[in-house]
């Protein structure tokens, strides 16, 4: 199956700026982002909540970039083009995700809390998703629901 925006020419920087514009248009009161080699983080405040999206970034030397689909080593320029394309695609997908969630809220299809709950930052710096997902996995493995919310 084809990935969304797999052939986009929109730069990662333009997608990040678009995310900021989208958030502003839908009422976010603050916005910030940061990057490392492994990930980008987009944070904003809206509806009296701090939201954090982590975008895993591709490793430049991953085989998907250093080799073609037949297993042959790519030239540096071809490798760099493949890597840059993957980065552009990933940022476009994040922009689409955020815009779709905010539009669903604005249209009354869902609520802000329901749509963004996994990304809400708790006072300890973890997101709700980071905190609860291990408990959900444990519940499925054990067949019992743990008292995971008692410590919130």
On whether the CB atoms of residues 25 and 95 are closer than 8 A, the answer is no
Whether 4 is in a domain gets the answer: no
Q: Are residues 90 and 31 in the same domain?
A: yes
Tell me the residue range of the domain where 148 lies: 123-152
What pLDDT score does 19 carry? Answer: 97
Q: Are residues 80 and 150 in the same domain?
A: no
Q: Does 64 have pLDDT greater than 80?
A: yes
CB atoms within 10 A of CB 29: 11
Q: Are residues 131 and 117 in the same domain?
A: no
Q: Are residues 59 and 117 in the same domain?
A: yes
Q: Are residues 113 and 133 in the same domain?
A: no
- Single out the residue of 115, 143, 140, 150 nearest to residue 129, CA to CA: 115
What pLDDT score does 2 carry? Answer: 77
Whether 3 is in a domain gets the answer: no
What pLDDT score does 1 carry? Answer: 76
Q: Are residues 115 and 128 in the same domain?
A: no
Q: Does 96 have pLDDT greater than 60?
A: yes
What pLDDT score does 148 carry? Answer: 58
pLDDT above 90 covers what percent of the chain?
A: 72
On whether the CB atoms of residues 31 and 20 are closer than 8 A, the answer is yes
Residue 31 DSSP code: E
Q: Does 90 have pLDDT greater than 80?
A: yes
Q: Say how far apart CA 114 and CA 99 lie, in whole Å.
A: 15
Q: Does 152 have pLDDT greater than 70?
A: no
Q: Say how far apart CA 33 and CA 16 lie, in whole Å.
A: 9
């Amino acid at each position: 199956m084809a990935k969304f925006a797999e052939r986009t020419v929109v730069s990662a920087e333009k997608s990040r700026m678009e995310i900021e514009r989208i958030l502003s248009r839908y009422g976010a009161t603050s916005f910030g982002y940061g990057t490392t080699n492994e990930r980008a983080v987009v944070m904003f405040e809206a509806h009296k909540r701090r939201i954090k999206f982590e975008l895993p970034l591709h490793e430049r030397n991953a085989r998907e970039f250093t080799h073609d689909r037949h297993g042959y080593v790519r030239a540096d320029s071809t490798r760099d083009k493949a890597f840059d394309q993957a980065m552009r695609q990933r940022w476009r997908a994040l922009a689409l995700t955020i815009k779709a969630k905010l539009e669903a809220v604005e249209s009354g299809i869902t609520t802000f809390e329901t749509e963004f709950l996994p990304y809400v930052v708790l006072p300890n710096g973890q997101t709700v998703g980071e905190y609860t997902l291990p408990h959900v996995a444990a519940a499925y493995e054990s067949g019992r629901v743990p008292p995971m919310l008692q410590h919130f």
